[in-house]
């Protein structure tokens, strides 16, 4: 919580994982698959660590965590200032909505193989065409990571 930036906006990089998580947790609760819902929340938190996060990102975490762990969710909610901001407990907030379009990753990781051997992986925009992908895969590309 201390790591979160004091910003109520959602971090752009975290948008996809948040929307994916809203979708997945909601569906899993309806089918009593609590284990995979929790796993998804953990995945989201890991991305928050990797990408950095704002209070705005954690607002979603509190709401999504609330059905499973209401005590800690409310405590975080209050300490982050959302109780004061909304005048409500997290459990009293409307269940977050997801945007199907935003559940799609902005970027994809692709493997680059030469003669069947993995040479490197590249990260390209999810909607990149073939030409873009091919040019990104050349060694000169600045986005190439060498595989180990």
Partner 1 sequence: MRYDFAAIEKKWQDRWEVSKPYAAITGDPRPKFYGLIEFPYPSGAGLHVGHPRPFTAIDIVTRKKRMEGYNVLFPIGFDAFGLPTENYAIKNHIHPAIVTKQNIENFTRQLKMLGYGFDWDRVVDTTDPTYYKWTQWIFLQMFKNGLAYKTTMPINWCPSCKVGLANEEVVEGVCERCGTPVVRKEKSQWMLRITKYADRLIDDLDDLDYIERVKVQQKNWIGRSTGCEVTFKTNTPDEITVFTTRADTLFGVTYMVISPEHPLLKKWQDRIANWDEVAAYQEAAARKSDFERGELNKDKTGVKLEGIEVINPATQEVVPMFVSDYVLMGYGTGIVMGVPGHDQRDWEFATKFGLPIIEVVSGGDITKEAFVSKDENAVMVNSGFLNGMTVKEAIPAMKAYAVEQGWGREKVNFKLRDWVFTRQRYWGEPIPLVNCEKCGWVPIPESELPLVLPQVESYEPTDDGESPLSKMTDWVNTTCPCCGGPAKRETDTMPNWAGSCWYFLRYMDPHNDSAPVSHEAEDYWGPVDWYNGGMEHTTLHLLYSRFWHKFLYDIGVVHTKEPYAKRTSHGMILGRNPHYVGPRSRCPSPSATSSTPTTSSRPTAPTRCACISCSSATSRRPPPGPTRPSRAPSASWTAAGT
> DSSP string covering 2-57, please?
TTSBS-SSPPGGGHHHHHHHHHHHHHHHHTT-HHHHHHHHHHHHHHHHHH--BHHH
Site map 7..36 versus partner 1, x via CB under 8 A? -------------------x--xx-x-x--
Assess 84 for contact with partner 1 (CB under 8 A): no
Pick the binder of partner 1 from 36, 70, 138, 145 (CB under 8 A).
70
Assess 66 for contact with partner 1 (CB under 8 A): yes
Pick the binder of partner 1 from 45, 67, 107, 119 (CB under 8 A).
67
User: Is beta strand 145-146 parallel, antiparallel or unpaired with respect to 117-125?
Assistant: antiparallel
Beta bridge partners of 114: 117
Assess 101 for contact with partner 1 (CB under 8 A): no
Assess 57 for contact with partner 1 (CB under 8 A): no
Quote the tokens at residue 12.
């752009």
Phi, psi of 66 (to 5 degrees): -50, -45
Helical segments of 52-109, H only? 55-65, 70-79, 82-86
- Cα–Cα distances in Å, from 125 out to 92, 120, 128, 140? 38, 17, 5, 18
Pick the binder of partner 1 from 50, 91, 106, 118 (CB under 8 A).
91
Closest CB to partner 1 among residues 52, 67: 67
Closest CB to partner 1 among residues 47, 74: 74
Assess 130 for contact with partner 1 (CB under 8 A): no
Residues that bind partner 1 (CB under 8 A): 1-2, 26, 29-30, 32, 34, 63, 66-68, 70-72, 74-75, 89, 91-95
């Amino acid at each position: 919580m201390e790591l979160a930036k004091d910003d109520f906006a959602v971090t752009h990089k975290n948008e996809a994982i948040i929307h994916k998580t809203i979708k997945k947790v909601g569906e899993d609760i309806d089918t009593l698959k609590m284990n995979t819902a929790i796993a998804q929340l953990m995945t989201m938190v890991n991305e928050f660590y990797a990408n950095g996060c704002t209070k705005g990102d954690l607002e979603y975490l509190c709401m999504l965590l609330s059905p499973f762990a209401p005590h800690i969710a409310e405590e975080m909610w209050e300490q982050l200032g959302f109780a004061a901001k909304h005048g409500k407990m997290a459990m009293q907030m409307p269940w977050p909505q997801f945007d199907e379009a935003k559940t799609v990753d902005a970027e994809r990781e692709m493997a680059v193989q030469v003669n069947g051997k993995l040479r490197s992986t590249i990260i390209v925009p999810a909607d990149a065409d073939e030409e873009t992908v091919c040019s990104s895969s050349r060694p000169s590309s600045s986005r190439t990571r060498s595989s180990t």
